[in-house]
Structure 1
Amino acid sequence: MDLSVIVIVVVVTALIFDFTNGFHDTANAMATSIATGAMRPKVAVAVAGVLNLVGAFLSVEVAKTISSGLVDEARITPVVIFAGLVGAILWNLLTWLLGLPSSSSHALFGGLIGATLVAAGASAVDFDTVVTKVVLPAILSPLLAGVIALVATYLAYRITKRGDRATVSKGFRIGQIVSASMVALAHGTNDAQKTMGVITLTLITAGALAPNSGPPFWVVLSAGLAIALGTYLGGWRIIQTLGKRVSDIQTPQGFAAESASAAVILTSSHLGFALSTTQVATGSIFGAGAGRRLASVQWSVARQMALAWLLTLPAAAAVGAVAAWLASTGTVGTVVVAVVAIAAGAGIYAISRRKPVTAHNVNDVPTPGEKAPAGTAS
């Protein structure tokens, strides 16, 4: 296949991944605000979309980590990157269908690593970077965010203990608008950069950019627009999970969770750590749930999420590896990978329409201990 054609295919595929990242991760910023009523669902995703676009222009440190630190760009081709992206996209779609807030970031890393291992061997993967800038942040960031949110929730309830409940609730609702907006901004800053990094890596491997180059402006703009559009459409299934299935979140908890998430994500973006914003947001929500006395936290849901987190990187790596093997056979193999990926994506979407979750029924799920209303979509 002509190099210029495959580069165009990879860029388009990367932007499709960015789009799935947007609707998969909308919940990170807006799930608690929608659950508490601080923001109406459609307004929330619109605000998140705009701020994701703005956030994409704030930093490129994470993009540099991916484009020049994760794999040896001199030993892979755009076809390998295409195969890795296929693994990431299919995992994103599957976990969205199940309503599981897994990591789009780790799906991307897993897909790229699996494809690179098949195409160029283990020596082409910088495992030191994988450990220090991917694995360790994956372990520490949700724990740190959870502890911060737990302490913040406890203090919020202690400080406002003697206040009028209606006034306190209204104040935290306003606060949630600000804190949720900060998370959306942080998400654009961190996650849009991952697609920027992949496109930049593709251009480097194709010889269109010099090694260690940063992303050109058009790459930053297109990645920002793709993730913003995906965010605006809203990943309602995952919003429902984080907003309603984890705990009965109240406004002080929502404010604490969002503030903790924003702080951790923005700090990591500045340091170039490509962490999972999903794991950070989930850790914050569980911490906020545990920080309120007598709150019911669904730890069974936490186990499901933890299993998805553990499977994300190896599962995406396996798909990326198979896709890379097929694509390495030539143009026909690459076309087969593309056709299978499109068919699988269409099948997942078709299944999702059997029990749709939308802006109108996203909060129609019982809080822990309550009986499900008749006809509730799951």
Structure 2
Amino acid sequence: METAVVIVVLVIGLALFFDFTNGFHDTANAMATPIATGALKPKVAVALAAGLNLVGAFLSTEVSKTISHGIIREDQITPELFLPLIFAGLIGAITWNMLTWLLGLPSSSSHALFGGLIGATLVGVGAMAIDFGVVMSKVILPAVIAPFTAGLIAFLTTRLAYAVTRRHDKKPDGRDGFRWGQIFTSSLVALAHGTNDAQKTMGVITLALIMAGWQNSADADPQLWVILACGLTIALGTYMGGWRIIRTLGKGLTDVKPAQGFAAETSTASTILASSALGFALSTTQVASGSVIGSGLGRRGSLVRWRTVGRIAIGWLLTLPAAGAVGAFAAWLVVLWGGWGIAVDAVAAVIVVLALFMRSRRDAVNADNAMSEVADSGHAVKVTKNPPLTKRQRAARKKKADLTENGDDPS
């Protein structure tokens, strides 16, 4: 009994630490653009995002139910084995999150979690303990469809924004009103993030409580203390640790104009909120990137760098199997050595996290230097300095050049 209590406490603690890493990974999805355009100061932006993440955690529990009663068939696994497997899966997710944070890569915390849990379950029990129907319908398909949906919405919204404000075309700052609109839309993205990502950790903790017999198996709703703990933890991570990812996305987005940022954030928020209501566990990173690309296609004169988009997509594809591999190895140690395997996993996880953190101190990133580098995600959309000329404009320019060459007054 005492061993079970220790394992449950370890799972809850590790789940909350994952929630923390999720927070600093995804701050950039909401706040990189308003920071880059000057709509919000960096520290104000992350504080606003943190508060709204906390509020969003209380608005819905559908995604939590997908995790606690969906992906893993808990009736196929004994509680004595299942809790250590959850522990192993979380190690896989956290390891990938910390590594990509160190590298400043905007990866998917959601897919890292799913990969870690699936990898650990495959090694510890087998494929029969995974509901691949739920994985396909509520994880894989949304991961494929959501970025395209968000991109389409952003494309149409950008077109509409520029059509409505066409009279400002000759004014460099004529659309600066959208910069202030970004305060609202980025806040909505942060709120949406809380409704989706905080619930994933709630689902993991609820699943652990059910397997330990501390919660009725028929009740998939997270308890109030679980909601509060997950909301506070993801908010804390959002406030404290996101500067590396913000540097990656924010500096690269400086070429994206306020109207595009407004459209992209509107698209991201609407897609995530709709998916949360349906119980789809989305990656906000993928949705935000799809929105940025769509906004780039929607603005005349923008060019999408498809080679860079391809590199981003490869990173997305690696997240689930990479986290799954670490989770599988951690689960193998549990199966091989039992309680000693759990102890080895715990010690190894602490060493890896501390090593990655100490390595990050060599080139610390904070609010003052977060915008010092350009990253791949920001390069997904390149805005040309001057939009292409129309046929009439080219003809007028040629006529003017001919008149000048003949010594005539072009005016």
Which interval holds the TM-score relative to the shorter structure? over 0.9
What is the match of residue 333 of structure 1? 341
2:368 aligned partner, one-letter code: H
Pair 35,246 (structure 1): closer, same or farther in 2 beyond 3 Å: closer
Task: Work out whether residues 91 and 107 of structure 1, in 8 Å CA contact, stay in contact via their aligned partners in 2.
Answer: yes
Q: Say which of 91, 114, 120 aligns to 1:115.
A: 120
What is the match of residue 180 of structure 2? 174
Higher mean alpha-carbon deviation, 7-16 vs 27-36, is at 27-36
1:106 aligns with 2:106: no
- Give CA-to-partner distance per residue, 1:148-182, whole Å, 9 cap, x none: 11221122112112138477443212210000000
What is the match of residue 397 of structure 2? none
Q: What is the alpha-carbon distance in structure 2 between the residues aligned to residue 34 and residue 323 of structure 1?
A: 39
Higher mean alpha-carbon deviation, 334-343 vs 122-131, is at 334-343
> What count of residue pairs does the alignment treat as equivalent?
370
Shift of 1:364: 2.6
1:115 aligned partner, one-letter code: A
SS of residue paired to 1:109: helix
Pair 123,259 (structure 1): closer, same or farther in 2 beyond 3 Å: same
Q: Note the 1:1-20 alignment, pairs <5 A.
A: 2-20=3-21
Task: Work out whether residues 36 and 253 of structure 2, in 8 Å CA contact, stay in contact via their aligned partners in 1.
Answer: no
Q: What is the alpha-carbon distance in structure 1 between the residues aligned to residue 240 and residue 281 of structure 2?
A: 24
Q: What is the alpha-carbon distance in structure 2 between the residues aligned to residue 291 and residue 137 of structure 1?
A: 23
- Give CA-to-partner distance per residue, 1:96-134, whole Å, 9 cap, x none: 122221110010001001111111110000000000000
1:272 aligns with 2:279: yes
Q: What is the alpha-carbon distance in structure 2 between the residues aligned to residue 295 and residue 234 of structure 1?
A: 32
Shift of 1:3: 0.1
What is the match of residue 248 of structure 1? 255
SS of residue paired to 2:311: helix
Q: Note the 1:338-377 alignment, pairs <5 A.
A: 338-365=346-373
Pair 160,141 (structure 1): closer, same or farther in 2 beyond 3 Å: same
What is the match of residue 235 of structure 2? 228
Q: What is the alpha-carbon distance in structure 2 between the residues aligned to residue 289 and residue 346 of structure 1?
A: 39
Larger Rg: 2
1:313 aligns with 2:314: no
Q: What is the alpha-carbon distance in structure 2 between the residues aligned to residue 263 and residue 333 of structure 1?
A: 44
Q: TM-score, normalised by structure 2?
A: 0.86
1:224 aligned partner, one-letter code: G
Q: What is the alpha-carbon distance in structure 1 between the residues aligned to residue 120 and residue 161 of structure 2?
A: 47
Task: Work out whether residues 104 and 244 of structure 2, in 8 Å CA contact, stay in contact via their aligned partners in 1.
Answer: yes
Higher mean alpha-carbon deviation, 361-370 vs 221-230, is at 361-370
Q: What is the alpha-carbon distance in structure 2 between the residues aligned to residue 143 and residue 85 of structure 1?
A: 29
RMSD: 1.8
Unaligned runs of 5+ in 1: 371-378
What is the match of residue 50 of structure 1? 51
SS of residue paired to 2:198: helix
1:79 aligns with 2:87: no
1:287 aligns with 2:288: no
What is the match of residue 373 of structure 1? none
Q: Note the 1:186-201 alignment, pairs <5 A.
A: 186-201=192-207
SS of residue paired to 1:70: coil
Shift of 1:296: 4.6
Shift of 1:356: 2.5
1:203 aligns with 2:195: no
Pair 282,53 (structure 1): closer, same or farther in 2 beyond 3 Å: same
Unaligned runs of 5+ in 2: 384-411
Higher mean alpha-carbon deviation, 152-161 vs 129-138, is at 152-161
Q: Say which of 165, 168, 172 aligns to 1:160.
A: 165
Q: What is the alpha-carbon distance in structure 1 between the residues aligned to residue 307 and residue 37 of structure 2?
A: 22
Q: What is the alpha-carbon distance in structure 1 between the residues aligned to residue 203 and residue 316 of structure 2?
A: 22
Shift of 1:340: 1.0
Task: Work out whether residues 36 and 254 of structure 2, in 8 Å CA contact, stay in contact via their aligned partners in 1.
Answer: no
Shift of 1:297: 4.0
Task: Work out whether residues 248 and 295 of structure 1, in 8 Å CA contact, stay in contact via their aligned partners in 2.
Answer: no
2:55 aligned partner, one-letter code: V
The percentage of counterpart residues that share the same residue type is 60
What is the match of residue 40 of structure 1? 41
Higher mean alpha-carbon deviation, 132-141 vs 293-302, is at 293-302
Higher mean alpha-carbon deviation, 339-348 vs 23-32, is at 339-348
- Give CA-to-partner distance per residue, 1:328-368, whole Å, 9 cap, x none: 32222111111111111112122222223221122233686
Higher mean alpha-carbon deviation, 82-91 vs 282-291, is at 282-291
Shift of 1:245: 2.5
Q: Note the 1:121-136 alignment, pairs <5 A.
A: 121-136=126-141
